[in-house]
Structure 1
Amino acid sequence: MDDTNMSKRILSAENLEQHFLKHDNSKNFMLLSEVPKLCFNEPCLLGVDEAGRGPVLGPMVYGICYCPLSKAENIKALGCADSKSLTEEKRELVFEKLCKETEYVGWAVEAIAPNSICNSMLRRQKHSLNQVAQDSTVGLITKAKDSGINISEVYIDTVGIPEKYQEKLSEIFPEIKITVSKKADAIYPIVSAASICAKVSRDRALKVWTFQEGLQAIARDFGSGYPNDPVTKAFLMKGIDPVFGYPRLVRFSWSTAGKILQDHAALVEWEDEEESGANRSTTITSFFKQVNSNKRHKTKHEFFTERNLAVLESL
């Protein structure tokens, strides 16, 4: 998770865009609202959901929204519902309402950069998308706790098997009642609110995305970002460099992008470094000592000299 944290209250989607515009979109980014005073003292419920898990383009955004238990019905009255069931205009309207309820509503989002997702999934010790998602959830809940919010109950839209995920989170946060459920964004209004915060934030991040690779001429024409979108597929074909691949907007670990890279990127053949001397074989003892040609004295193997290692005579 990135160390960049914002505490200024966001009052509009336009203001939210400015934060994303100023931020380096190749790095993870956390944005937090001010904490309402009621949330320091009264027990609160908190919802967690994401936006942008499936697209081949752009960040995945995790969001939380919280309020006192005594104000739970107010969240529903604001019109919170699963963000996928709302039009963009409706999401923007509900998000504005959430931002204006400064007396009892707070929220936070983490934008996980596309290259961060890919690097996690492709590194030697692979970190799956589910693990990335769970790490973000834990990080956001921890941040809320560290901010002094009196969290009593947490509701989460699951990734993976709900029972196992709930057990894991309950071990991390034993003092909090954790509920993990499929379709939680359609069941619990506080999760719906988190879903809206995440979705609006992702939309705003994409709207002001800055291409550091010099692709501004085609930058805004990438469609929904989902692999089956023809406009997105066209962007992937136009945006590829045969040597350097894709801009950071693209999740190059996705099979859609990988297939295009395989078919259209320049082919490179890697030759093994030639060994000095014909049919030279390496034995395990060669890493510990090496005798020069005149055999007058012993020299250390380069493995040790390059690392400034020496024989320890005594402790």
Structure 2
Amino acid sequence: MDLSPYIAKNWETLFVDSNIPDICKTEPCVLGVDEAGRGPVLGPMVYGICFCPVNRHDDLKAAGVADSKTLTEEKREKIFDIIHEKNDYVGWAIEVIPPLRISNCMYKRPKVSLNEVSHNSAIGLIKRAVAAGVQLEEVYVDTVGPPEKYQAKLQDIFPTMKITVSKKADALYPCVSGASICAKVARDQALSKWEFVEGVNITEWGSGYPGDAVTKNFLNNSLDPVFGFPGIVRFAWSTAEKIMEEKCVPISWKEDDEEEIEKEKPPSVLQYFARTDNAGAPSRSAKKRHYFFTDRCLKPVSTF
């Protein structure tokens, strides 16, 4: 698995695809979807898919695939090598989602939740397989959020496929176990080769989960009081936010102060009918624009 583009630019999303076996282009296939690194405050979240012909699904189990969380790192890498070498009937793909992208999504207006980021990644990888010519017939997904709603959402997008979304799918379906292993191996490699462009020299950060003492120590020691954390940290996690609130230099934004004043006084409907000059710009007598528009960086346009 070549992650060198992500190692070089760990703030950019990366897709890695295996070769598509010819048999997967001609026979009905089953595909599994799973992720690694959803909960940690450190590092990327990686989504993976694994697919093969329906009549070869049980062969994945014979190859040793299992829920990646029950396997050692060494065992996961060995099984991934087996999956990768069986390119006559097995294919896979991953999406590496950087911590920066996760935080940016969660800080957007309107906010893009982690669940939505996860759903979009899973949907994108399934579409990626279809675009590559894989004849998908069945899809199994480890759930994010209520499985019934997620399954209905996927079924609406892929009406011709049999969609199954369930809890613990990585322990129930071999193709999902395979996807779990691909995602976990990729995330482990991305973390082990992480390059700090900020110049941080700390090499121990623990499991990356907020409750880990080593991870907490890393967060406290890598914090810059002005610029915050290095790029490996998901700023949007409450653990990181709390540390920044306590230890970073307080900042006051003038625009925020003005917006708060604006919000205290509900605007008159008349302001939306303020006079404009010949170029379409508000005249000097026009009132200040409503915060709804300034929040979203919306500007008036003219058509000619």
Fold shared, TM-score > 0.5 on shorter chain: yes
Q: Aligned residue for 2:235? A: 252
Q: Aligned residue for 2:6? A: 20
CA distance in 2, matches of 1:288, 1:230: 60
Shift of 1:222: 1.1
**Are the aligned partners of 1:154 and 1:177 in contact in 2 as well (CA < 8 Å)?**
yes
Cα distance change, pair 274–244 in 1 and its aligned pair in 2 (3 A): closer
- AA in 1 matched with 2:101: S
The answer as to 2:79 corresponding to 1:87 is: no
Identity fraction in percent: 51
Q: Per-residue displacement from partner, 1:21-70 (whole Å, max 9, x unpaired)?
A: 24x21111111011011100011100000000000001110000001112
Shift of 1:18: 3.2
CA distance in 2, matches of 1:85, 1:129: 24
Higher helix proportion (structure 1 or 2):
2
Q: Per-residue displacement from partner, 1:261-307 (whole Å, max 9, x unpaired)?
A: 000000123457999xxxxx9983995269xxxxxxxx933989xx7
Q: Aligned residue for 2:47? A: 62
1:35 equivalent among 20, 24, 37: 20
Q: Per-residue displacement from partner, 1:101-160 (whole Å, max 9, x unpaired)?
A: 110110000011111111111111111111110000000000000000001100000011
Q: Aligned residue for 2:119? A: 134
CA distance in 2, matches of 1:67, 1:286: 61
**Are the aligned partners of 1:287 and 1:301 in contact in 2 as well (CA < 8 Å)?**
no
**Are the aligned partners of 1:17 and 1:208 in contact in 2 as well (CA < 8 Å)?**
no
Cα distance change, pair 162–286 in 1 and its aligned pair in 2 (3 A): closer
**Are the aligned partners of 2:105 and 2:113 in contact in 1 as well (CA < 8 Å)?**
yes
TM-score by length of 1: 0.82
CA distance in 1, matches of 2:301, 2:236: 39
Shift of 1:255: 0.6
Q: Aligned residue for 1:226? A: 209
Q: Per-residue displacement from partner, 1:210-235 (whole Å, max 9, x unpaired)?
A: 111121x11x2111111011111111
CA distance in 2, matches of 1:85, 1:71: 23
CA distance in 2, matches of 1:251, 1:67: 34
Higher gyration radius (CA): 1
Q: Aligned residue for 1:284? A: 271
Q: How many residues align?
A: 280
The answer as to 2:54 corresponding to 1:74 is: no
**Are the aligned partners of 2:234 and 2:240 in contact in 1 as well (CA < 8 Å)?**
yes
The answer as to 2:169 corresponding to 1:184 is: yes
The answer as to 2:150 corresponding to 1:165 is: yes
TM-score by length of 2: 0.85
Cα distance change, pair 274–246 in 1 and its aligned pair in 2 (3 A): closer
Q: Aligned residue for 2:291? A: none
**Are the aligned partners of 2:6 and 2:13 in contact in 1 as well (CA < 8 Å)?**
no
**Are the aligned partners of 1:61 and 1:201 in contact in 2 as well (CA < 8 Å)?**
yes
CA distance in 2, matches of 1:309, 1:190: 50
- AA in 2 matched with 1:284: Q
CA distance in 2, matches of 1:269, 1:202: 37
2:195 equivalent among 210, 216, 240: 210
- AA in 1 matched with 2:133: G
- AA in 1 matched with 2:78: L
CA distance in 1, matches of 2:67, 2:82: 16
1:145 equivalent among 110, 130, 137: 130
Cα distance change, pair 132–270 in 1 and its aligned pair in 2 (3 A): closer
2:245 equivalent among 231, 238, 262: 262
Shift of 1:20: 3.4
CA distance in 2, matches of 1:94, 1:123: 39
CA distance in 1, matches of 2:197, 2:187: 19
SS class of match (2:164): strand
- AA in 2 matched with 1:128: S
Backbone CA RMSD of aligned residues: 2.6
